[in-house]
Amino acid sequence: MLKIDLTGKRALVAGVADDAGFGFAIAKALAEAGASVSVGTWPPALNIFMNLLERGKMDESRKLSGGQLLKFEKIYPLDAAYDALADAPEDIRSNKRYKDTGDFSIDGLARRIEADFGKDSLDIVIHSLANGPEVKKPLLETSRSGYLAAISISAYSLTSMVSRLAPLMRKGGSFLSLTYMASERVIPGYGGGMSSAKAALESDTRVLAFEAGRKYGLRVNTISAGPLASRAASAIGIIEKMVEYCAGNSPLTEPLQAQEVGYTAAFLSSPLATGITGTVVYVDKGYHSMGMAPQEAPQS
């Protein structure tokens, strides 16, 4: 029987701070397939995330099909806005939510992974990171700093991670990020430069696939996921409306489930997908294929 088998593979999922989003669903799917999974968590959310785990508040969502709980090999502090610790302003480094975490930069993450597991120790890296501080503002009202912050955190961080983590990966390894259809079509309310950031992320995916493929033998892909009403997505302000609209205007009318993205990520990270790189894979119930909204709401 053909199945996804990630036994013996080590994965890093950057961008997990709770059990409600795509990052957690991907981590769980990778573990179900046999991978050992570490996560990178934004420092301001790190203590809350650790407390939820330690107090068993996430035990139900951590249950795997075999009955055991998803366990993280390591939990690393990560603020993908900074390539190196020296790049972080003093007020960030001295902030109470940061100062005791050590090196929370992307470079620090790479150094910790190498110290914990050595070189040639990673097989899968998931980039589940996005932030636009002015996402609720129309593009016409977005400041330069807000626009550049969205690009930096949501797009450039993938380039930085590939640059620093690729040398630690085994040949045949996989990088995977998460994008959104706002990269190619107008989504009113999804502002602050985030649509530009997603477009940059998809363009970079193609270039990085070529460069990392030739230099390291690695694959780079991205999943264009439909909207999900996660805690992180609530920052957009209209996420429930987005979910409802897409469900009503897609070929498949059920709202997208996080685990559906998780399953696709596990496949793309597996040996079954060795011929796929530089690609945007849509997991959105087919919404991307529609050119016109149905005249009547579909009957359920």
User: Catalytic positions, please?
Assistant: 180, 190
Q: In 3D, which of 201, 219, 202 has the Cα closest to residue 210?
A: 219
Judging by beta carbons within 10 Å of its beta carbon (0-12, 13-18, 19+), is residue 243 exposed, middle or buried? middle
C-alpha dihedral sign at 288, 197, 233, 159: positive
| Residues 20-43: b if buried by 16+ CB within 10 A, e if exposed | bbbbbbbbbbbbbbebbbbbbbbb
Q: Tokens 């309310």 correspond to what residue?
A: 189
Q: In 3D, which of 173, 151, 171, 170 has the Cα closest to residue 160?
A: 151
Using CA atoms, how far residue 100 sits from 87, 93, 300, in Å, is 17, 9, 52
- For residue 198, the SS3 value is helix
